[in-house]
Amino acid sequence: MEEKEYNRLVDRLKECSEAYYLRDDPIISDGEYDRLYFNLIELERLNPSLIRPDSPTQNVGSGVNKTKFSKVQHADTMLSLENSFSQQEVESFFSRAAGMINVSAESMEIVAEPKMDGLSVSLLYEKGKLKTASTRGNGQEGENITTNAKVIPSIPHELKLADKTIEVRGEVVIKKNDFLNLNKSRIDKGEPVFSNPRNAAAGSIRQLDCRVTASRPLVFFAYCTISDRPFIATQWEALSWLKEQGFTVASASRLCPNVDDAIRYYQHINGVRSRIEYDIDGVVLKINRLDWQKRLGASSKTPRHSVAYKFSSELAATKLLDIKIQVGRTGILTPVGILQPVNIGGVIVSRATLHNKDEIDRKDIRIGDIVLVKRAGEVIPKVEEVMIERRGLDSVPFEFPVTCPSCSAEIAKQSDEVAVRCSAGLTCPAQSIERLKHFISRKAFDIVGLGERVIEELFNASIIKTPVDIFTLKQKVVDGKVNLSDRYGWGRQSADNLLAAIDKSRRISLDRFIFSLGIRHVGEYVSRTIARTYVRYENWRTCMEKSIDLFSSTGKIDAINDMEGIGAIVAHELKTFFLSKHNLSLLKELENFITVTDCEIKTADSSLSGKTIVFTGTLTLTGRKEAKESALSLGAKVSGSVSPNTDFLVAGKNPGSKLKQARSLGVKILDEKAWMEIQNLT
């Protein structure tokens, strides 16, 4: 029965998706498609054996049959650059170069350009038309991203020069401001945020659906040309030619009369770095004359005519001793580099994240390599890149595991994610430990004395396997089943302290409780939004349970779908959580030992209390998120769509269709000023 249902659903979705993507002629609404799609995801999650390779979940986006990018051989290897960290290193790089071609170092013009931190892309134009766009890949072979490149406005489809074959290389980036706005809108939609502009750019360009790429604020900065019939004599001319052809070129670039001037330029850029609108991690210094560049050529990895002069304050080089795989709360396998301890800006760093398998492959990181490690503020240190030029014979490529290192279950990769996950879920010990750590963490139950190490110890001793075990620890001690103080090296006092701390944590507010459950994509903000909507734990749980009707007629969790700031992804995760019998019985059991207190709402005297508010357009006086928070804290409900139940529509700049809807329904409309006033009145 289920199989039949499943096949019907896959066929229907394929039919709809072909109509949409191939014929541009949708046969159902987007909402209806999403509903069917989520039903499919759930059905597949519950019955993984049914999954068909042609299911739309295995196969996102426009090229209905496209699952990955084809490969492109680069005619000219896409090299990397040698890194320098000091004036002296730069000077000796260029005096070596000058020596090699027998010219005077003093008279060597240098083009200095910002080193953009994005993704390098090669564009091949034949007879003036953009033929192929590809990523760098391993330098020899990249991925064909032509369709996506064509939707980036700063990439011209045609050049004015029609008779030559020319390759243009450059960096695809997302500007800092655009990045912040992109993440803001992802939070609003309940989608996970990108960790930095580089990742956002890389993720956006490698989309199978070019409409997604088109919706992201990508900019291509051109920085060099390669042609088999060179018609340009210098790098500086190449940059102005690129501008003439309609490319965007980093305006901060400069033609320096000599190396000393180039070093001064580096110092200047280092000083104004934070004011540059995109992330840069150094300056690239290039010998201006292309005939000299040609004579110098390249070693196997890096050219001898250009060098990256990196900003160094937060960077340090050290040896990568090993790579360990960490299994996270939701099963994501993260490779972590074990480093020879190194001092970076006053902090000793001995571990750094390597993010994921793709990152290891892309940067060709091998155990034994000398790597550059970056530590910035509170962010986890990361391996920036390998110093290829210092690679020894003892470096060994890393074999990424094919099974979970904790439970040996198979690992799986979703087509739209770079991360790989352990497929075992609840039965994987590493995931269980991470979930417990999250459960007791500061923003959740906040149990003082029950730190991460203690959780690991008690989990391994089979004393705490589930959250319920934490709250029954006392009884177990009394029953004599477990005696912390005798058996596990715990003094009586520390055991008593722990039990007292656990007791203290038994009362928890609804928002913290929701957060503690560790549901994917349900972080602090989303938990608070949910708590403010439902106020009481019982309300929330019953409403969730009632809504879990796999093939319900609307396919929605009504209240959730209507909550501003909670998108389809969060709704889907909540649904998945409440579909699990294990989770339901965990909640039931927990209820015996804890008290979830109502979400506090300032209802007193608030004229907004109980009112339903919808926001539209850009709010300029406060951000959208702050406005929502404020409305919620004054006891209002915030909804994502206008209905006859809406009390106010707050309309900012450039309001969308919601304004029209509100007008037609006679809903009261407030401009931003009136909205500020109404809050002050309360």
Least Å from the CB of residue 512 to ligand IVH: 44
Least Å from the CB of residue 306 to ligand IVH: 6
User: Which class for 354: exposed (0-12), middle (13-18), buried (19 or more C-beta within 10 A)?
Assistant: buried
Question: Annotated catalytic sites, by residue?
Answer: 115
User: In which residue are the tokens 């159902």 written?
Assistant: 28
What amino acid is encoded at 360 in this protein?
I
Secondary-structure percent of the chain, ordered helix, strand, coil, rounded to 5? 40, 20, 40
Long-range contacts of 426-433 (CB under 8 A, 24+ apart): 426/580, 426/582, 428/327, 428/331, 428/404, 429/459, 430/326, 430/327, 430/404, 430/405, 430/406, 431/327, 431/328, 431/329, 431/330, 431/331, 431/406, 432/459, 432/465, 432/466, 433/459
C-alpha pair distances (Å), 351 with each of 314, 318, 339, 381, 431: 15, 11, 6, 7, 20
- What's phi and psi for 238, nearest 5 deg? -60, -40
* Residue in 418, 431, 422 with CA at minimum distance from that of residue 404: 422
Residues 510, 535 contacting (CB under 8 angstroms): yes
The two beta strands, 254-256 and 110-116, are antiparallel
Please identify, using beta-carbon distances, which residue of 109 and 171 lies nearer to ligand IVH. 171
DSSP label at residue 69: P
Structure-token pair, residue 382:
């990361």
Q: Which residues bind ligand IVH (CB under 6 A)?
A: 79-81, 113, 115-116, 120, 136, 171, 223-224, 284, 303, 306, 308
Please identify, using beta-carbon distances, which residue of 287 and 430 lies nearer to ligand IVH. 287
Structure-token pair, residue 32:
């209806």
Element (H, E) at 34: helix 30-46
Element (H, E) at 455: helix 452-460
Least Å from the CB of residue 293 to ligand IVH: 10
DSSP label at residue 592: T
Least Å from the CB of residue 126 to ligand IVH: 22
User: In which residue are the tokens 């608030």 written?
Assistant: 606
- What's phi and psi for 358, nearest 5 deg? -60, -40
Least Å from the CB of residue 292 to ligand IVH: 15
Please identify, using beta-carbon distances, which residue of 296 and 338 lies nearer to ligand IVH. 296
Give 640-677 as a DSSP string. SS--TT--EEEE-BS--HHHHHHHHHT-EEEEHHHHHH
* Residue in 121, 173, 139 with CA at minimum distance from that of residue 281: 173
CA–CA distance, 110 with 195 (Å, rounded to integer): 34
Give the residue nearest to ligand IVH (CB): 120
Structure-token pair, residue 227:
């042609």
Please identify, using beta-carbon distances, which residue of 178 and 281 lies nearer to ligand IVH. 281
- What's phi and psi for 455, nearest 5 deg? -60, -45
Please identify, using beta-carbon distances, which residue of 109 and 113 lies nearer to ligand IVH. 113
CA–CA distance, 315 with 297 (Å, rounded to integer): 29
CA–CA distance, 121 with 142 (Å, rounded to integer): 9
For residue 301, what are the contacts with CB-CB under 8 A and spacing of at least 6?
A: 79, 80, 388, 389
Query: From edge to edge, which strands make up the β-sheet containing 129-135?
Result: 129-135, 119-126, 166-174, 218-227
3-state SS class at 458? helix
CA–CA distance, 339 with 354 (Å, rounded to integer): 12
